[in-house]
Structure 1
Amino acid sequence: MGAVDDSLADLPEPDRGCLQHVIDVARAVVPEAEQGMSYGMPALKLEGKPLVGVVRAAKHLSVFPFSPAVIDAVAGRLEGYSLSKGTIRFTAAHPLPDDVLEDIVRLRRAEILK
């Protein structure tokens, strides 16, 4: 196991499953991503740089693509979600669409590899 798997293992359902799904989607898009920590949160990394992080807060779940530009690129497709410069907030009852997650990961991957 690694930092991401270990962190998610302790979370209650349905939050654990929802965040695990985010990680599974990211791994499908970037299978070479490695588990680690970034800014104190569990994250997948690519070439030593943070690709996507996930966190459970008291009232929501968060995806951190570590890039305001990535969030800006998908913001128009996330009506009804809470967005800020660095995070996208959602709940297990209202998860992020897979196609948006895939694009988030692809966009961040492109930033890291350029």
Structure 2
Amino acid sequence: MNPVDVYINQFPEIVKETLQQIRQIVKTIAPNAEEIISYGMPGYKTNGKPLIYFAGYKNHIGLYATPSGNIGFKNELSQYKQGRGSVQFPLDQPIPYELIQRIVKFRLEENESKMKK
């Protein structure tokens, strides 16, 4: 079994479903991204550079889009608890999947532009 499947399957159903949704978003936007387990959580790389990571917790989902991903969406993420390069989406609120899509696209474009330089 794929290590990311093993990671996701350890969680209760609500967390599992949310993690699968985020995984599908990444795979749709960045189909060629390398899927890994890094820092103990699912992560994706494009062009050898980190794209995004996510993690499940009891009460929230952590999304790690590096500092640039958080800075690029500062206003929209302001309602969520944040750290440097991370944001927490509480499981008792709707998960902002459309925002996650835009963050993944933003990070993909960043990685692609770094590759062209």
Q: Compare the two structures and name the one with the higher helix fraction.
A: 2
Query: 1-side partners of 2:9 and 2:45: how far apart?
Result: 19
Q: Which has the larger radius of gyration?
A: 2
Aligned equivalents of 1:2 and 1:107: distance in 2?
Answer: 27
Q: Which residue matches 1:73?
A: 72
Tell me, yes or no, if the aligned pair for 2:15 and 2:57 is still in contact at 8 Å: no
Matched residue of 2:73: which SS?
helix
Q: Unmatched 5+ residue regions in structure 1?
A: none
- TM-score normalised by the chain length of structure 1: 0.85
1:82 equivalent in structure 2: 81
What is residue 29 of structure 1 aligned with on the other side? 29
What is the identity, as a one-letter code, of the residue corresponding to 2:10? D
Residue 106 of structure 1 is matched in structure 2 by: 105
- The alignment covers a number of residue pairs equal to 113
Contact 2:59–2:91, Cα closer than 8 Å, also in 1: no
Q: Unaligned 5+ residue runs, structure 2?
A: none
Mark the CA change 1:43 to 1:98 in structure 2 (over 3 Å): closer, same or farther: same
Q: Deviations over 1:48-72 (max 9, x none)?
A: 322111112343220111x211101
Measured in 2, the distance between the counterparts of 1:5 and 1:84 equals: 26
Q: Secondary structure at the match of 1:50?
A: strand
Give the drift of 1:27: 1.1
The verdict on how the C-alpha distance between 1:28 and 1:104 changes in structure 2, with shifts beyond 3 A counting, is same
Corresponding position of 1:50: 50
User: Structure 1: which amino acid aligns with 2:5?
Assistant: D
Identity rate, percent: 29
TM superposition shift of 1:45: 2.0
Residue type at the aligned position of 2:57? A
The alignment partner of 2:106 has SS state of helix
Tell me the distance in 2 between the aligned counterparts of 1:52 and 1:2. 18
